[in-house]
Amino acid sequence: MPLQELTSRTAVIEAVGRCDIIGPETLVHDSKVGPVRDYLLEFEGKLYHAKTVADVAYGIQHPDRPPLPADAFKGDAAVRSLERLDFTIAATAKLWPPDLGVEYPNRTIIRNAFGGNWVPGIAKFPGDDIVNVFSDEDGPYADEAPDPVKPFEYRGEGRAGDQQLTRGNKMLDQARQERRAVRYWYRPAGGTFKFVTWVAILSRAQVWSPDDTKKLRLEYTFQVAAVPSPEPNTWPSQVTDLIDDGEIEDTPPPRPVPQNAVSKQLPKTYLEYVKPFGDTPKACRKGRGPNKGNRNLYPRSRRARDAVLVRAADQCENDGCTGMPADTTPSGAAILEVDHVDDLALNGPDHPGVMIALCPNCHAAKTRGRTRAALKRHFRARAAKLHQQAMQAHQG
């Protein structure tokens, strides 16, 4: 490797004198050595682009040789060469970590700012111990939109075949066990990536979901909750009480019935959907709490969600709704969000009788609105009434 032939500390020091000083607002992109913000050389209290310094120093030491090609600087080759000469290397993400609320147009710009790989949905920036997760509403995973109040779902990485507890998924699981905060980046449809919140990883479970080839496979689903900072002593007790930081044994749920199965195997009516849960929420086992003897804490029943959507028949179930969105989902269905009136993660039942289908505006009002406490009481009664009406209608 050419950079292994950079052996002169004197050449590096001379190169430093020819290079620009780097500061937190500096963003220089060189066509050969790449973006400035990955690793920096620290020398006499100042910072310099490590790859640029290595490139210049190589030319000083070997003036009779042609310039180095761009692929000579792949990975951390320049960093290793400078460290061999006893220079101090600093990581951009350690010096100038991303501020909460910062936005970037895309993952490529984030990589240019902090280095690393722009492809994985779960990653650490070079030289940084903090895990970042990236959720894209236009992406291939069924992540839930981040919620500032309630726990929400983030799907693991791996787009073909059963997901494995390796790489990014393993990093997230280690953050759960060690109670370390994770940066949560989110891009709404057509928007930009924004560092929206710190999250704590509450639990891990497995769900069935189609991969890129439309074949069913097991995905990891991580329950996460927004926290105010990376310091655990600032996390509210309603979050810390929900963290399962022990070993979790994967227990895959039953494989769903194939779409082309015999029609009698597929539930069609509200009554058929609800039958496995029992007629009332009391007959249904409540959402599992933070019991160390009970793993995979908060799996949500797809069947219960589908039952509520069948009952709603493409209409917001809030009788005070001021208007559904004019747009629809790509399949032509109404844009509805199924809400557990009593939070599942706070031991609420996973039963259609205490779940309600809401349009995005009504769901936001119930979650974050000034009158959310009154809405919660109203929706609890409303869901029970709609459930009883649907049961009676199907029972004749």
What is the average pLDDT across 368-385? 91
For the record, the structure tokens of 77 come out as 């080759």
| 350 compared with 188, residue with greater pLDDT | 188
Nearest to 153 by CA among 190, 207, 191: 207
Q: What is the rounded CA–CA span in Å between residue 41 and residue 21?
A: 10
Band the pLDDT of 300: cuts 50, 70, 90.
Answer: low
**Residue 98 near residue 195 (C-beta atoms within 8 A):** yes
Q: What is the rounded CA–CA span in Å between residue 146 and residue 165?
A: 23
What's the pLDDT at 38? 67
Q: Which of 19-33, 301-315, 363-377 has the lowest mean pLDDT?
A: 19-33
What's the pLDDT at 269? 78
Q: What is each CA distance from 72 to 55, 78, 225, in whole angstroms?
A: 9, 8, 42
Q: What is each CA distance from 296 to 43, 202, 221, 238, in whole angstroms?
A: 49, 10, 10, 18
How many C-beta atoms surround the C-beta of residue 250 within 10 A? 12
Domain boundaries, the chain: 2-95, 97-255, 257-396
What is the average pLDDT across 277-290? 56
Query: Does residue 301 surpass a pLDDT of 70?
Result: yes
Query: Does residue 34 surpass a pLDDT of 50?
Result: no
What's the pLDDT at 383? 92
Q: Which of 223-227, 263-267, 353-357, 370-374 has the lowest mean pLDDT?
A: 263-267
Band the pLDDT of 133: cuts 50, 70, 90.
Answer: very high
Band the pLDDT of 27: cuts 50, 70, 90.
Answer: very low
For the domain covering 97-255, report its CATH number. Answer: 2.30.280.10
Query: Does residue 33 surpass a pLDDT of 50?
Result: no
Beta bridge partners of 39: 91
What is the average pLDDT across 53-73? 91
Q: What is the rounded CA–CA span in Å between residue 147 and residue 366?
A: 12
Percentage of the chain modeled with pLDDT above 90 = 45
The H or E element spanning position 18 is helix 9-18
| 294 compared with 383, residue with greater pLDDT | 383
Sequential DSSP letters for 35-74? ESSSEEEEETTEEEEHHHHHHHHHHHH-TTSPPPPGGGGS
The H or E element spanning position 193 is strand 193-210
* pLDDT tens for each residue of 195-242: 999 999 999 999 888 888 888 899 999 999 999 999 999 999 999 999
Band the pLDDT of 362: cuts 50, 70, 90.
Answer: very high
For the record, the structure tokens of 80 come out as 């290793």
Q: What is the rounded CA–CA span in Å between residue 58 and residue 360?
A: 58
**Residue 58 near residue 52 (C-beta atoms within 8 A):** no
Q: What is the rounded CA–CA span in Å between residue 290 and residue 298?
A: 9
What's the pLDDT at 28? 42
What is the average pLDDT across 356-381? 91
Task: Specify burial of residue 209 (Cβ count, 10 A radius: 0-12, 13-18, 19+).
Answer: middle
Q: What is the rounded CA–CA span in Å between residue 210 and residue 208?
A: 7
Nearest to 289 by CA among 332, 357, 362, 343: 343
Band the pLDDT of 56: cuts 50, 70, 90.
Answer: very high
Band the pLDDT of 290: cuts 50, 70, 90.
Answer: very low
| 94 secondary structure, DSSP code | H
What is the average pLDDT across 277-283? 63
Q: What is the rounded CA–CA span in Å between residue 117 and residue 168?
A: 12
* pLDDT tens for each residue of 39-51: 888 999 888 888 8
The H or E element spanning position 83 is helix 77-84
**Residue 21 near residue 78 (C-beta atoms within 8 A):** no
Whether the predicted model's global pTM rises above the 0.85 cut: no
What's the pLDDT at 71? 85
Q: Highest-confidence range of 22-36, 258-272, 342-356, by mean pLDDT?
A: 342-356
